[in-house]
Amino acid sequence: MLSADELERYARHIVLPEVGGPGQAALQRAGVLVIGAGGLGAPLLLYLAAAGIGTLGVVDDDAVSLSNLQRQVIHATSDIGKPKVESAAAAIRRLNPHVTVKPHRARLSAQNVLDLIGPYDIVADGSDNFATRYLVSDACYFAKKALITGALGTFDGTLTTIRAHQRGADGKPNPTYRCLFPEPPPPGTVPACAEAGILGALAGVVGAMAALEVIREIVGFGEGLVGRLLMLDARAMRFETLRYGWDPKNPLSGEHPTIKNLSA
Please give the pLDDT value at position 263.
Answer: 76
Biggest alpha carbon–alpha carbon distance for the chain: 54
What are the tens digits of pLDDT across the range 244-257?
999 999 999 999 99
What are the tens digits of pLDDT across the range 141-154?
999 999 999 999 99
| SS3 of residue 123 by DSSP | strand
Q: How confident is the model at residue 189 (pLDDT cuts 50, 70, 90)?
A: low
CATH topology of domain 4-243: Rossmann fold (3.40.50)
Tell me what percent of the residues of the chain surpass a pLDDT of 70.
Answer: 97
Residue 264 clears pLDDT 60, i.e. is over it: no
| Torsion angle of C-alpha atoms 220, 46, 32, 104, degrees rounded to 10 | 170
- Average pLDDT of the chain? 94
Q: How confident is the model at residue 197 (pLDDT cuts 50, 70, 90)?
A: confident
Measured distance CA(143)–CA(60) in Å, rounded: 20
**Range name among 20-29, 69-78, 130-139, 181-190 with the lowest pLDDT average:** 181-190
The CA–CA distances, whole Å, from 223 to 25, 123, 161, 220, 241 equal 21, 19, 11, 9, 13
Measured distance CA(154)–CA(147) in Å, rounded: 24
What are the tens digits of pLDDT across the range 45-99?
999 999 999 999 999 999 999 999 999 999 999 999 999 999 999 999 999 999 9
Measured distance CA(216)–CA(213) in Å, rounded: 5
CA angle 58-98-37, nearest 5°? 20
For the chain, percent helix, then strand, then coil, each to nearest 5?
35, 20, 45
Spans of all domains in the chain: 4-243
* pTM check: above 0.85: yes
Please give the pLDDT value at position 186.
Answer: 74
Measured distance CA(195)–CA(154) in Å, rounded: 10
The CA–CA distances, whole Å, from 68 to 42, 58, 118, 145 equal 10, 17, 29, 30
